[in-house]
Amino acid sequence: MSKTNYRAVSVFLLLALILLPAKGAAVQRQATGRNQPAAQAAAGQPRLVVVIVIDQFRYDFLERFSDLYGKNGFRRLIDRGALFTNANYGYVPTYTAPGHAAIFTGSVPAQNGIVGNLWYDRDAGRTRIMVSDMNSRLVTDAGVVGEAGVASPRVLIGTTIGDQIRLSNNLQSKVIALSQKDRSAVLPGGQRPNGAYWYNAQTGTFVTSDYYSKELPAWVKKFNASEENPKKYFRAKWERALGPDAYKRAQAENLSVQRSALGNKFPYVLTGGEEQPGPRFYSAFEFTPFALDFLSGFAKAAMEAESLGADQFPDLLSISFSSPDLIGHAFGPDSQEVLDTYVRLDRVLADLLDYIDRRVGLANTLIAMTGDHGVCPVPEYVSSLGMDAARIEARPLTEAVNKALAARFGEEKWVVSFVNDQLYFDRKLIADKRVMASEIERVAGEAALTVPGIVGYYTRTQIVEGRMPDGPIARRVVNGFHRARSGDVWIITKPFSFVAEGNLATTHGSPYNYDTHVPVLFYGPGVRAGRYHVECSPSDLAPTLAALLGVEMPSNRTGRVLFEAIEQRK
């Protein structure tokens, strides 16, 4: 062999020795997929993202109850994470569905289309649940059951942070969304999660829709049949978790409007008025802090069964705690019940964080926490303190508007719906009468102002033509307006007043601070700890997670990256 050939063969063998291990490793990664050891994940890159949404989480609950919290729940996240103290929703209405959509899409209803929990479908001529889908059916332990109309994300416009994480690696990441409420699982899950599950108050089990799967996974069925079933809480007693002094900052007694199916004073015995667990019991169960433990247990089961955080592809787990909202609606933010609920939630969070630390490691987990909206104090309680507040009935409002329109344009049923503090008019009638829509809107708005508690209005024509005045309330109305789904006149109530929703003691939805102001908190790899007082929004949560993870931001995001809390990479 010549020297030239010898050198060529030597170079070839050397290159083979260098390249073969690398090629073998690449083959091994491709073959093992999600079973790759966690240690091979990129340094500093989270393996698990956990987004915790607390329904009706007003910011001041962190401050008012701070001395009652332990070291390993809220305080662990606050002390070692980044807390944004001045986060406000930049739109109305401040409801559950728009809140969850804003958090995970990084946008507002004008972009993502989620204009409320309900909306008036002009094509169908009726009010519908926002996430209801006539192409989807319920999936229970028995399989696909019932009629169509079960929740799906088809109504959501654009992608979520979970969608973007999955798109970044050819769907290798997993996204699982859990909640008591369907909308609080469906919207966080995004367009194509691996699963979205919610509580069925008829059976006390977790369910999904056939948008996701025709059958519940085995692990969900196993959990539904386990001892963690709500039946374990039948006849359980909800008593105060702390001594009497802790509750002096809350109301001494509840008013008659502050009540639930359990009653209106401690202790509460959980039966739902039944001798054996049934639908009334399963429904009443949601109005207790026991539901917090139940959902946390389900989250642990999901983490284990789905192997979340087990490899280099970051997974996302969304957990939305709904019972604080149900309890808050029944008793109000100044009640002992709400105080006690947050004390107990703090303990549930501590336990859940400890579990995540044991299973995945908090050093490998990126956590984000916020609320989907705040809540108004109970008007009767505010009035008892000598402040101006009112509960406004919807019927007198719509009657006043119809009366004014009839006097001006003829006796007809002009208002077809009142949803999300918005009047919807009969557009065919307006066209047939050859009346200017802008004039109908103006007359209706002026008529609404004659109702005590109504202090302002904005019209569709103003919004569409860009003739809105400056100011935070007007901006929130514009951001909440979707041409195809929103109404024709937007009613603004005075602070501490709202249009009543059934027998609820209080509600939310307004553009005022008590409804818009929530905490935004980040904890984990890449997060610079501290308290930040800059103006921001929960719509900033998804863009910030995208920046921390190095993935593309959701498609129609309006929020910004909260760079203040991101460590500079070396």
| Token code pair at residue 146 | 């019932």
3-class DSSP state of 527: strand
> What is the CA 118 to chain-centroid distance, rounded?
15
Please state whether beta strands 315-321 and 175-179 pair in parallel, antiparallel, or not at all (unpaired). parallel
Burial class (CB in 10 A: 0-12, 13-18, 19+), 153: buried
Please count the residues of the chain: 570
Active site residue 96: yes
Could you give the strand order of the β-sheet that contains 415-419, starting from the edge strand earlier in sequence? Answer: 415-419, 422-425, 489-493, 454-459
221, containing H or E segment: helix 218-224
Cα distance between residue 423 and residue 261, in whole Å: 32
Query: Using DSSP, how many helices (H) and how many strands (E) does the chain show?
Result: 20, 21
Q: Tell me the C-alpha to C-alpha distance, in Å, between residue 23 and each of 16, 19, 26, 30.
A: 10, 6, 5, 11
What is the token pair recorded at 330? Answer: 């029944």
Q: Are strands 530-532 and 138-140 parallel, antiparallel or unpaired?
A: unpaired
From 4, 32, 94, 96, active-site residue: 96
* 42 CB burial (10 A radius; 0-12, 13-18, 19+): exposed
Q: Which residues are catalytic?
A: 96
